[in-house]
Copies of this chain bind each other. A is one copy, B any other.
Amino acid sequence: MDAQQLFEQIKKKRSFLCVGLDTEIKKLPSNMRKSSYLLFEFNKKIIDATAPYTVAYKPNLAFYEAEGINGLKQLGETVSYIRNNYPDIFIIADAKRGDIGNTSQLYADAFFKNMDFDAITLSPYMGKDTVEPFLSYADKWVILLALTSNLSASDFQLIENKANGLKLYEQVLETSKTWGSMDNTMYVVGATKAEMLTAVRKHIPDHFLLIPGVGAQGGSLSDVAKYGINRQCGLLVNSSRAIIYADSSERFDIAAGIKAKKMQQEMEELLKSFSLI
């Protein structure tokens, strides 16, 4: 899938929603907890309820690794379930990996060949040669951390470069934007800092952004669109907890569907107001 094809999906669904599958056993309805395949069973219901309203799913690896081998099996099943039932939906491994070249090649094989994800999140700290093995896969994407949504993001990401005055997250954008292209590279920019999207768009007007932090972390969807939208939309807005834990009873999937639909409707209005649909 390239950027234009992703934009086609956004127009078709009238949505730029990504649902984060941060599935944690202790947060699931207690009457489900007898199953040993609980993460997958929960995900399957969430996916069926939200698929009409979303263009992407983003399982976070930590939630599956925390359950060991059984958790990782269920991650694999989740990816296969999406691929087989909703083949046009973009699947992101939120893994935040990054290692030297020969090691990155193995991570690329693990996520793109063995598991068939469309994209993976990566830390830029170690530089270009840690990202290149992922970019060598056709039709797959890397999503580099630029400005994250957590409080401590300011520890290093806002440091100003003495040579040119760019903040570290801006330097990451500026340096890395030529490693790949707008058809295989996105950036993570937290919604909690929506006004900084103006600075982001100066460096990368055309690239897609993956925006966490809307919902549970407090960011505003209309601000994200105001400062970040471009001619191909250029946004995937992620919501995890606000959707998948919208209701803690066994009706969780219905509540998740309602919440996802509500976000899709807000996104449809925004896409219309920017004349993209």
Cβ contact within 8 Å between B110 and A126 = no
Q: For the side of the interface on A, what is the size category?
A: 35 or more
Q: Collect the chain B residues with CB atoms within 8 Å of residue A22's CB.
A: 103
CA distance A123 to B99 in the complex (A): 10
A33 at interface by CB-CB < 8 Å: no
For A149, the closest partner residue in chain B by CB is: B100
CA distance A63 to B109 in the complex (A): 10
CA distance A226 to B200 in the complex (A): 43
**Shortest Cβ distance from A160 into chain B, in angstroms?**
4
Chain B CB within 10 A, most for which of A76, A98, A110, A155: A155
A31 at interface by CB-CB < 8 Å: no
**Shortest Cβ distance from A12 into chain B, in angstroms?**
31
CA distance A152 to B176 in the complex (A): 11
A156 at interface by CB-CB < 8 Å: yes
Q: Collect the chain B residues with CB atoms within 8 Å of residue A130's CB.
A: 150, 152
Q: Collect the chain B residues with CB atoms within 8 Å of residue A126's CB.
A: 96, 123, 145, 148, 150, 152-153, 157
Given A123-B98, A126-B152, A150-B130, verify A66-B106 contact (CB < 8 Å): yes
CA distance A234 to B194 in the complex (A): 43
Chain B CB within 10 A, most for which of A66, A68, A157: A66
Closest 8 CB pairs of A and B: A127-B152, A127-B155, A66-B106, A160-B162, A129-B152, A62-B106, A128-B152, A162-B162
